[in-house]
Amino acid sequence: MFIVPGPASTNLGRKVAEILNLPLVEVESKTFPDGECYVRLTRNVKDERVTIIQSTYPPQNTHLIQLFLMVDAAKSFGAKEVIVVIPYMAYARQDKIFRFYEPISIETILKIFEKLEVKTLITINIHEPKVFKKVKLECLNLSATNLLAKYFTRTSLTKVLVFAPDLKAVEMVKEASKILGGEIGWFRKERNRITGEIEMVSEEEFEVEDKNVILFDDIISTGGTTATAVKMLKEKGAKKIFSACIHPLLIKNALNRILEAGAEAVIATDTIPSSVSVVSVAPLIADTIKKFV
C-alpha cells in the first residue's frame, strides 16, 4: 500500500506512513492564477492500493477539489483500490434539510466519492454518522474521543465532571467518562438557522460547584458554543474548565473568545492543524488502515 499525504494533511499523512512503515507518494500542488487547483502524484501507482489522507478544513472547497483530483489521478493511472482518509469532513453539519429547497450537502459530497469509485472512506467523529446510510460507499467513522480523554488522564486533575455543551455531544461525554470516571452533565442548545445565534439552557441540575470540568465537543468553529457553556459553568461555580475538541476549526478569534470566557485551555486533535492540536490521530488512522494493507 502507498500513502499519499494530500496538501492539507502533509504532516499527518507522513506520520501515518512512518508508523506503518509504508512508502509515501508525495503530491505536487499549486494554484493557477485564476484560483483553480492543480495536483500531481509524483510516483507510479499502477496496481497498488493507495490511501490518500486529506483533511477538508478551510479553505474546504479547495481541499475537497484537491482530493477529488488526487483520487481521479490515482484511478486513471491504474491504482488497484483507493481509500480516502478525511480526518475532518467538511459539509457534515448540513446533514438534513433544515429549510425547504436546501441540499443535504454532505450527501452531495459522498455521492461524488461514490462516482469516483473510492473503495472506502474513513473519517473521524463525523457530525452525524447516519449520513453514511444513504450511500453505497463503504464508510468508517472513527472516534478520537478516547485519545482526548487519555490526554487528561496524564494531568493531575481531580474531581472531574465531563460535560457536553449540547445534546449531540452527550455520546462523546459518555465515551470519555469511561476513561476519566467521574460524573457527566450536559446543556441543551438551540441554534437559529438563519442568524446562527445560539441559546443554551440548563435543563437538569448537575453538581458543578467546585468541580474541574472538561467540556467535550466534536467541532469548535466560531467558539460561540464553548464560550457560552464555559460562562454558564463558571456561574454555577465550576473550579477549572477545560475544552476538549476533535476538530479545532477555530474561526477568527474563537480561541480567545473561549479563553476570555474563563477556560484554562483548549485541547484538540490534529485532524485540523492548529496551535492547540496536541493530540495526534495518526495512531488511530494507522491502526485502521493496517487492516487494509
Positions touching ligand R5P (CB under 6 A) are 166, 168, 217-225
**CA quadruple 121, 64, 283, 144: dihedral sign:** negative
Tell me the three state secondary structure of residue 229.
helix
Amino acid at 266: V
| Residue for grid cell 448537575 | 206
- CB 222 → ligand R5P: shortest distance, Å? 3
Q: Which is nearer to ligand R5P, 68 or 88 (CB)?
A: 88
- CB 258 → ligand R5P: shortest distance, Å? 9
Neighbours of 69 (CB within 10 A): 19
Picking from 229, 260, 205, the residue whose alpha carbon sits closest to that of residue 244 is 229
Q: Which is nearer to ligand R5P, 43 or 168 (CB)?
A: 168
- CB 190 → ligand R5P: shortest distance, Å? 11
Q: Is 189 an active-site residue?
A: yes
All cell numbers assigned to 5: 499525504
All cell numbers assigned to 275: 496551535
Neighbours of 167 (CB within 10 A): 12
Q: Which is nearer to ligand R5P, 66 or 277 (CB)?
A: 277
Q: Which of 189, 211, 239, 291 is catalytic?
A: 189
In degrees and rounded to multiples of 5, residue 89 shows phi and psi of -95, 110
- CB 21 → ligand R5P: shortest distance, Å? 36
CB-CB contact of 110 with 122 (8 Å): no
Q: Which is nearer to ligand R5P, 20 or 227 (CB)?
A: 227
Active site residues: 189
